[in-house]
Amino acid sequence: GLMGLLAVIPGGSSVPLLPKHKCDNVLMDYDALKAVQSGLGTAAVIVMDKSTDVVDAIARLSYFYKHESCGQCTPCREGTGWLWMIMEKLKVGNAKLEEIDMLQEVT
């Protein structure tokens, strides 16, 4: 069952994750996921159980985007590096409040 479920990323790594309480009744379609502030994206579902460190998981996804950026556009080239750097700080408890606020603004 869903007892061990922590969160689901319903549309691949570029869409917002859904905490368990939102997963209970949402359908896996464009409109339903949009209504809960996520998205269908590539529909590559990522499931996280309670053993998952969400901050570490998001940091790894951030590194993936930093590494895979082609570097042509500034927001991707620079933004993914900043995102990864702040997530790494967050993992070890060294992120400043303004950096966390900046993550909220740019994501």
For the chain, what are the domain ranges? 5-49, 54-106
The pLDDT assigned to 1 comes to: 59
Summarize pLDDT for 27-70 with one digit per residue, the tens. Answer: 999 999 999 999 999 999 999 999 999 999 999 999 999 999 99
Is the pLDDT at 20 greater than 90, yes or no?
A: yes
Write the class of the CATH domain 5-49.
alpha beta
Structure tokens at 100: 């966390």
3-state secondary structure of 5: strand
pLDDT band at 25; cut points 50, 70, 90: confident
Whether 5-49 and 54-106 share one fold: the answer is no
pLDDT at 75: 85
Distance CA 69, CA 60 (A): 14
Task: Fill in the amino acid letter for 55.
Answer: V
For the domain made up of 54-106, the CATH class stated in words is mainly alpha
| Contact of 18 with 10, CB cutoff 8 Å | yes
- 5 and 32 in contact (C-beta within 8 Å)? no
